[in-house]
Structure 1
Amino acid sequence: MRHKHQRARIGYFTTEGHPHTHTHPPQSEGGNRCEESEPRHPNNNQTAPRARTHSGGAPEASLPCKASRRRRGEERAGTSSTGGRNHRHTAVICERRRGMKGLMRTPKHVFLWDKKHISFLNGQMKWQKKIFLALIVICTVSLLLHHGGHFTWNMEAFRFGCSHQYPGSKPKHTNIVFLKTHKTASTTMQNILFRFAERNNLMVALPVQACGHQFCYPRSFSSHFVHLHTLRPNLITNHMRFNKTALQRLMPNDTLYITILREPASMFESLFTYYSRHCMSFRRVPNGSLEAFLAEPFRYYRPQEVESMYARNTLTFDLGGDKDHPSKDLAYAQNFVAEVEKVFSLVMISEYFDESLILLRHLLSWDLEDILYVKLNMRTESSKKRLSPGLPEKIRAWNSIDTYLYEYFNASFWLKLSDLGLDCVAKEVQLLRQVQERLMRSCFGGKMPLPRPAAEIKNKDLRPWQPSDKVDIVGYDLPVNISHEAQEHCLKYIMPEISYTRILLHSQSLRHRRSYQNRPPQKSHILQHHMRTTLPRHSQVRLSQPAPSVAQSPDSGTESKSNVKRSEGTTKLGL
């Protein structure tokens, strides 16, 4: 049953084009008449002018509905008293109680919007949305096919993990010192930093040619060891012996310090095998027996030898500490650990490399793409020695400061993971490994890569350095059937340290020369004078230290005995 006072809203436009609304007055029960509404003026309560009247009759809006229909029929037939004029500038609306809902009126036209019109327009909008979504899908698929299956993974995928930090919440941190320790998966971490620097157009501090690919290790780091073309760096990551004062002078004030540690027993076994031909403390041991060395370590160990740092407390030495401090002095170990903790914002743990990368990502506000990696500088299983029962305890006792260092930061490492949320970290680690598998399959023709001996790798730039004939360091070679774009994308992931350092130095030198040539003559002269005054003995470093020989270990920075004496005489240069 219809209600008496049912109202229908009518919207009309004035000659100024401003919309107004009003409501019909209630109709009587028998109100089957065509009445034109009487809109009120927006500024007062006066009634707006009614519809125009036709000659020879009353206003058309006041006619009954039947009379109105009859008059329109006469007009179409040309028999009406108005002479058959077609009054298109007016309209008569017979609004029934179950009729249309509204009326929009302009001075010349009146438009009716009923349910059919609205549903028709809604249907059109739905189809437009479907077409738009279909186009997006087609464009996305085409883009992925065009790029050969190489995806750019961003942190949107991490939303289900640690949801408290989203990409874009903070800018990426780019000023970083990574202290590259020995035999701790640090080469893989260095590769991550090299690729991050290239993607973000950052400057990486690299060694002068006289130092090889390391900062004249084992000497304490000095800014004089940095190549001129890589000054004002954002990152530094090649092997060095840590010198906080020199690094603080070189790097920006907001630089974050990061390093990585490894469990001392497994690390010492790796050091003993890797440097068996370079470290005299190891070469003296008959038959290269690790058991024999640990039975009488002072029989073979000489603290003053140039490479003795590989034979005892290597982590402590790399961090700038005293590797030969008496093990009974617990206070020294505690103070040293406290100093390391004060300087380094993150100490990664090699055994939990993926979890360390999640902490690194949150510390630096990086994306998933920034922490993808392929394992580098790995030994074959045949090159590894199993530790017999009792050996791990002897190794930890011999490397007591390293042991204290590792145990402390391993405990603090898990505290940081707990603060972030262990479930959150586990989800991100799972996602990291999934995306990493996709990356490796895309780089190696849909298959997981098989590490190869250096002799089987065709690309010379991808052959890892071999420390001796008793140790096999494996690498990778890209398949020939992948696209050129895929090769460029994947090549840097598997490039060894020495090759990458050389290529990076070449590209940064070209960048330096271009920027130097584009400077005005006056500024170039000032910069050149600044370089001469800040690095007065840089040329002396090149003359006093010959280039490393081919037999030199890339991780040790080994020099001949004569060169060692010369470097010891110029040690003040690095302080």
Structure 2
Amino acid sequence: MTTNTQMQLTVRKVETTLFCISVLVLVALIRNLLETQLDQESGNNHFLRSKAAHPEGETRSLVFVKTVKTGSTTVQNILYRKALHENITVLFPAKKNKRRNPHLFSMLLPIQLSHVHRSALREKDKFLLNHFRMNYGSVNRMVNKSEAVYVTILRDIPDVLESRVSYFNFAKHLTLQSKRCPRREALEFVRHMLRNKKNHLNFTKFGSGVFTKSTLGNGYYFQLQPDLTLSDSRDDLSRVEDTIKTMDKQFDVVMITDQFEESLIVLKNYTSWPLDDFAYVMKMQRKPANCRLKSSLTHSEEKDYRRLAREYLAADERIYQHFKEKLRKQIAQLGKKYVSQKVRQLRDLNKKVAKECQFQKTFEQLSYKPGNLFSNVKVTNKSTLTEEQLQYCSEFILSDRNFCKYLTKIQNLRLKN
């Protein structure tokens, strides 16, 4: 073999090697690009969320009947953020219904079309997310059921009753002695109400507001059955089964507070939204007093309280147990292994958001509840975040009132154009 031929072979080997290296580098670059894109889509970069058009099949209309002291404010915050990011119109109370609480519909009557801003009703994609009394005929005309997901949330009866007694400070009206021990206050409250049931049909000593009065009795029953008066909701249990059957037809998902994360995964399945949209921080939890860290009731007292609470709110108990079982079946249909996997991913997502936003849990007073402290989060070092990052993180912190005002301002500008 001549020297010339050897040199040619050597050059070809070098060219082949360089070509192979170039191909490998190109493949690595493409792979890295794809992985980066997938990371962003799966929520690993929360601050640079895509504002592109929503994927086909995603739910663009939704109704959330917000119930009292069930974790509903946390769910509402998730849905407010979704509406904000996707330019979905939220139906808020009309001006004539605005009093001290512009984010609340009247609980005196079941919701009507006239209770909502007319300009918002003309929009195709709509969310209805507030406290209101369910009235399917009107709600269906606002947010067409055939194109929407209908949701509400329920909490176990002994726990929701304790939370209501504490939040509305019912104990002071009965001169109970167990201040700052909500579980014992709730026990004394339910004993008192069952002893004096016939003498307290009007509950005048607890104030005049229908919203507050409705929480003294079967609040789920009253809010979700439009044909009931306040008095009926306490004494007439004849329509409980009809209410359950009607709810079964109307609601796609009835979330259960004790299975909050699992409920969100079931809701995700109905809406086809990405998991990123369900990141949350728990809001409006009471600051635990010393006697809440460990139950202030003995074992026998706790057992007695649970029995009495379920007896006192018998209608709500039946509604709760039915939909707790229905959620169990929905989880089973999705597959327990799948739901558990998604719950773990959601927890990891929440930790990642909390870390990126530098959240610190805090407890703060609300202007309309000066005697109580409720959970929220705050950003510990705003100077390290960009304007876009701070905007994203601040959305988790907004109270329901302030988010309502913020969205209303944005929507009014959009609807005028």
Normalised to the residue count of structure 2, the TM-score between the two structures is: 0.79
Higher relative contact order structure (alpha carbons within 8 Å, sequence separation ≥ 6): 2
Give me the whole-angstrom Cα distance separating, in 2, the residues matched to 1:374 and 1:172. Answer: 23
Give me the whole-angstrom Cα distance separating, in 1, the residues matched to 2:147 and 2:134. Answer: 18
Deviations 1:484-526 (A, max 9, x none): 2221110101111000000100110111112xxxxxxxxxxxx
Conservation of the 8 A alpha-carbon contact between 2:280 and 2:350: yes
Aligned with residue 339 of structure 1, among 239, 246, 265: 246
Aligned with residue 255 of structure 1, among 130, 134, 148: 148
- Mapping for residues 19-418 of structure 1, pairs under 5 Å: 120-121=15-16, 124-131=19-26, 133-134=28-29, 137=32, 150=46, 171-209=57-95, 210-211=97-98, 212-233=102-123, 234-252=126-144, 253-276=146-169, 283-287=172-176, 289-297=185-193, 298=197, 299-302=199-202, 306=210, 307-320=212-225, 322=228, 324-325=231-232, 332-382=239-289, 386=295, 388-389=301-302, 390-418=304-332
Conservation of the 8 A alpha-carbon contact between 2:363 and 2:373: no
Conservation of the 8 A alpha-carbon contact between 1:177 and 1:257: yes
Deviations 1:452-496 (A, max 9, x none): 334xxxxxxxxx445241x21232322233322221110101111
Gap runs ≥5 in structure 2:
1-7, 178-184
Q: CA deviation at 1:262?
A: 0.4
Conservation of the 8 A alpha-carbon contact between 2:149 and 2:251: yes
Deviations 1:304-332 (A, max 9, x none): 86332110111111212546548897653
Aligned to 1:437: 351
Deviations 1:146-192 (A, max 9, x none): x99646689xxxxxxxxxxxx96x52011111111111111111111
Greater C-alpha Rg: 1
AA paired with 1:302? N
Aligned to 1:6: none
Aligned to 1:494: 397
Aligned with residue 472 of structure 1, among 370, 373, 376: 373
Conservation of the 8 A alpha-carbon contact between 1:229 and 1:509: no
Give me the whole-angstrom Cα distance separating, in 2, the residues matched to 1:384 and 1:409. Answer: 31
Deviations 1:179-217 (A, max 9, x none): 111111111111111111111111111112343211122
Are residue 427 (structure 1) and residue 338 (structure 2) matched?
no
Normalised to the residue count of structure 1, the TM-score between the two structures is: 0.58
Give me the whole-angstrom Cα distance separating, in 2, the residues matched to 1:500 and 1:433. Answer: 24
AA paired with 1:474? S
Give me the whole-angstrom Cα distance separating, in 1, the residues matched to 2:90 and 2:415. Answer: 12
Taking structure 1 as reference, are residues 384 and 226 closer, same or farther at Cα in structure 2, changes over 3 Å only? farther
Q: SS where residue 174 of structure 1 aligns?
A: coil
Give me the whole-angstrom Cα distance separating, in 1, the residues matched to 2:345 and 2:408. Answer: 34
Give me the whole-angstrom Cα distance separating, in 2, the residues matched to 1:419 and 1:153. Answer: 31
Aligned to 1:507: 410
Give me the whole-angstrom Cα distance separating, in 1, the residues matched to 2:345 and 2:218. Answer: 36
Deviations 1:10-63 (A, max 9, x none): xxxxxxxxxxxxxxxxxxxxxxxxxxxxxxxxxxxxxxxxxxxxxxxxxxxxxx
AA paired with 1:258? V
Give me the whole-angstrom Cα distance separating, in 2, the residues matched to 1:330 and 1:508. Answer: 42
Deviations 1:68-89 (A, max 9, x none): xxxxxxxxxxxxxxxxxxxxxx
Aligned to 1:159: none
Conservation of the 8 A alpha-carbon contact between 1:203 and 1:232: no
Q: SS where residue 217 of structure 1 aligns?
A: coil
Give me the whole-angstrom Cα distance separating, in 2, the residues matched to 1:121 and 1:150. Answer: 43
Taking structure 1 as reference, are residues 330 and 273 closer, same or farther at Cα in structure 2, changes over 3 Å only? closer
Aligned with residue 449 of structure 1, among 357, 360, 365: 360
More helix, by proportion: 2
Conservation of the 8 A alpha-carbon contact between 1:301 and 1:308: no
Give me the whole-angstrom Cα distance separating, in 2, the residues matched to 1:383 and 1:220. Answer: 40
Q: SS where residue 178 of structure 1 aligns?
A: strand
Conservation of the 8 A alpha-carbon contact between 2:255 and 2:263: yes
Gap runs ≥5 in structure 1:
1-112, 155-166, 455-463, 515-575
Give me the whole-angstrom Cα distance separating, in 2, the residues matched to 1:327 and 1:450. Answer: 38
Deviations 1:525-550 (A, max 9, x none): xxxxxxxxxxxxxxxxxxxxxxxxxx
Give me the whole-angstrom Cα distance separating, in 2, the residues matched to 1:335 and 1:115. Answer: 88
Give me the whole-angstrom Cα distance separating, in 2, the residues matched to 1:317 and 1:267. Answer: 15
Q: SS where residue 153 of structure 2 aligns?
A: strand
Q: SS where residue 440 of structure 1 aligns?
A: helix
Give me the whole-angstrom Cα distance separating, in 1, the residues matched to 2:215 and 2:224. Answer: 13
Count of residue correspondences: 370
AA paired with 1:230? A
